[in-house]
Amino acid sequence: MEILHAFGIDIRLLIANLINFLILVGVLFKFGYKPILKFVRERQAKIEQGIKDAEHAAQKLSDAAKAKEALLTEAHQEAQRILARAKEQSDVHTKAMIEKTQREARDIVERAKREIRLEQEQSLSAIRQETAALVLAVSEKLIRKKLNEKEDALLVEKIIKDIAR
The length of the chain in residues reads: 165
- Number of compact structural domains in the chain: 1
pLDDT at 41 over 90: yes
pLDDT at 147 over 70: no
DSSP 7: T
Q: 145 is in which domain, residue-wise?
A: 2-164
pLDDT at 51 over 80: yes
Q: Which residues lie below 8 Å from residue 146, measured CB to CB, with a gap of 6+? A: 152
Between the alpha carbon of residue 74 and those of residues 61, 64, 84, 92, 102, the distances in Å are 20, 15, 16, 28, 42
More confident residue, 46 or 10: 46
pLDDT, residue 146, reads 60
30, 35, 41, 42: CA torsion to nearest 10: 150
CB 156 within 8 A of CB 138: yes
